[in-house]
A and B are shown apart, each in its own frame.
Chain A
Amino acid sequence: MTATMTAATVAPAPAEARSRRRPRASDGPLGRGRRRWYWLFVGPALTVYLAFVAGPAIAGIWISLHSWRGAGDPMRWVGLANYRRLWADDIFRTAFLNSLTILAVCGVAVFALAFVLTMALREMRARSLLRSLLFFPYIVSPIAIGVALGLLLDPRGLANATLRSVGLDSLAQPWLAPDRLFSTILVGIVWVSSGFYVVILMAGMDRIPAYFYEDADLAGATPLQKFRHVTLPLSWDVVSVAAVLWVINSLKIFEFIYAFTGTGDSPAPDTRTVPIHQFVITTGGRSPAYLLGYGAAMGVVLVAAIAILVVLLRRVMRRDAVQF
């Protein structure tokens, strides 16, 4: 789940750090040998991070400018050719569109459902237990969940058997048929992800003082009006942070989709997303293609897409903070 842990990116770490670093009395006695201790404490983590995360990120850009099949094959400089090739590659274009579909379609569904679930949870008993149970799919191995859902939705599986046994034969579907698989995956992603956003939104809404809702009740507001005029404006900061997290998390979903599509032969092109396609053309499959330069270019494009979308989203969602 390194994949899922990105809560940090959007937190105001630097600003907070600055405001806390006013001169303190403790700098005096602790100042002795401070620099030495500082690097002794920070150095090891920084070295590992530089060598195995930051360094590779830079190296990825470099590799993307080459044609290369890995150790033993001389790197050949091709400039931006890999990127031009991406532009013309139909399979990549489908994969990119699929990734954006997940971002947009699942995003709307996840946030709509998360709002409804959170509003309902507000007034339910045992809300903390219910919240834990909603959150639960998010921390189970996405491979296991993908495999389990695949078995549940198998044409001969429990889902169809249940539908037939209650006389709804017409609803029984080949859920995993090639033309339906991607829609099934979209629904699955919504199911797995919503709990996480429920927890975030709930944390934001819990800080809204109850008297706003009491006032709204006295004024005879409908649930929708309360949502529009109280909940949404007063939890806007949290909503916008959650939206940024969704952009970052949704574009890199790999395991869940791979468990649906990746066993046996390589996934059908029209169910691939960028992470899946990158894996397939580099080290994945029975006889890996090792198109490392081309794959690295996909990684760079993905990061660029995330960065652009996050900046746009922050701009669109910027509001003056409501004081309460």
Chain B
Amino acid sequence: MTRSSSRPLRRRRQPLFIHAARTLVIGWVGFNLFLLVWIVTTSLKRSKDVFDDPLAVPADPQWTNYAQAWSVSGFSVAFLNSLLIVATASLLTVALAAPAAYMLARASTRTAGPLTTFFAVGTGIPLQAIVIPIFVLMQSISSFGYENLGWWDDRISLTIIYVATSLPFAIFLLTGFFRSLPHELEEAAALDGAGWGRLFVQVMLPLAQPGLITALVLTVVSLWNETLLALVLVVDTDQQTLPQALLGLYGTMQYTSNWGGLFAGLAIVVIPIVLVYWWLGRRIIEGLTVGAGK
């Protein structure tokens, strides 16, 4: 929108500084693209060529690297774990955040303002402040599960914590979004005799769809990359998430030197996010920087 108007009307002499800055932009972008291409091409090399001949392009692609990372190094299990945990936690986050955000944005009760702030404070609390109590709490929940149900799964603990830690940002984002929606439709629906419940489900949720999708995508991206909580809460290798599997594989390199497999593992972690970014990049960028630009 401001794109054309923000350019100077006529280009006069281009000072050195501008040239240097443009070169920096191009170089920076080039490096980012290069890193991605490098991960993918190296993942198709033989392990011994990764460091013996780092400049060479893979002559015959080693797809076995992927097969090996996928089955031998446990990436298939980790991938499914990540997929399951991230999907469940993200959907639950939005399902809890949407009604709360709607009420906080619209209801005129005395507690709405302070509660909005209370949730917003949560986005500024670093994990370091809560990770130890969470570790203790989840330990006692899992031992409660073992004693009374004979069973517990750390992936459930992780999912619960993922929902809780994702809520503040989702509520913040959606509160802003609901506020930006027009009041007229609600008023019309209210005159037709619709209560809060029907109003929310039939009128507001369809209207809020873009906001809900943004909240969902941002939660997915952030949880896909989350590692600290997974490291603290999930011990069993069969239950670990993708970043954990990658760290585990990286740690074995000094014994196995399976570098090709490691790069395949890197690609397995990175490529899904690249695809999501390719598809929904604008939404991700704008959602993540909301609040700052206002």
Contact = CB atoms under 8 A, between A and B. Distances in A.
A177 B2 CA distance: 47
B128 A302 contact: yes
A254 to B, nearest CB: 5
Given A29-B190, A59-B133, A298-B128, A3 B2 contact: no
Contact-residue bracket for chain A: 35 or more
Interface string A1-28: 1111111111111101110110111111
Contacts of B122: 49, 53-54
Contact of B123 (A9, A52, A199): A9
Nearest to B129: A299
Contact of B163 (A48, A199, A213, A238): A48
A284 B222 CA distance: 22
Given A1-B226, A41-B99, A303-B129, A53 B168 contact: yes
A110 interface: no
A234 interface: no
B117 A53 contact: no
Chain A interface mostly: helix
Contacts of A315: none
Nearest to B33: A133
Contacts, number: 406
Contacts of A284: 231
Interface residues of B, number: 135
Interface stretch (A85-93, A100-108, A153-161, A316-324): A153-161
A309 B221 CA distance: 29
A204 B293 contact: yes
A299 B39 contact: no
Given A8-B124, A8-B168, A13-B172, A143 B225 contact: yes
B28 to A, nearest CB: 6
A129 to B, nearest CB: 9
B130 to A, nearest CB: 4
A223 interface: yes
Contacts of A33: 195-196
A3 B132 contact: no
Contacts of B284: 139
Contacts of A204: 293
A156 B54 contact: yes
Contacts of B246: 141, 143-144, 147
Contacts of B263: 151
Nearest to A194: B28
B292 interface: yes
A217 interface: yes
Nearest to B128: A299
A120 B2 CA distance: 16
Contacts of B6: 122, 205-206, 208, 210, 213
Interface string A265-294: 000000000110011001110000000100
Contact of A26 (B129, B190, B232, B254): B190
A85 B130 CA distance: 20
Contacts of A169: none
B17 A224 contact: yes
A21 B183 CA distance: 12
A24 B123 contact: no
Interface stretch (B8-16, B57-65, B72-80): B8-16
B7 A123 contact: yes
A135 interface: yes
Contact of B32 (A10, A25, A137, A165): A137
B225 A140 contact: yes
B120 interface: yes
Contacts of B226: 1-3
A16 B213 CA distance: 24
Interface in B173-230: 173, 175-176, 179, 183, 186-187, 190-191, 193, 195-197, 199-200, 218, 221-229
A120 B243 contact: no
Contacts of A127: 3
B139 A71 contact: yes
A65 interface: no
B117 A14 contact: yes
Nearest to A133: B29
B167 interface: yes
Contact of B25 (A130, A207, A223, A263): A130
B289 interface: yes
B251 A264 contact: yes
A49 B100 CA distance: 12
19 contacts: A2-B229, A7-B288, A8-B168, A11-B294, A17-B116, A21-B108, A38-B103, A48-B163, A49-B167, A52-B165, A63-B136, A70-B139, A119-B21, A120-B22, A120-B25, A131-B285, A136-B277, A147-B262, A242-B292
Given A13-B116, A29-B191, A56-B137, 8 more contacts: A8-B124, A30-B190, A41-B200, A53-B167, A136-B32, A199-B288, A238-B292, A282-B135
Interface of B: 2-3, 5-9, 12, 15, 17-18, 21-22, 24-25, 28-29, 31-33, 35, 38-39, 42, 50-51, 54-55, 96-97, 99-100, 102-105, 107-109, 112-137, 139-140, 143, 160-169, 171-173, 175-176, 179, 183, 186-187, 190-191, 193, 195-197, 199-200, 218, 221-229, 231-232, 242-243, 246-247, 250-251, 253-254, 259, 262-263, 266, 269-270, 273-274, 277, 281-282, 284-285, 288-294
The 3 closest A-B pairs by CB, nearest first: A1-B222, A52-B164, A120-B21
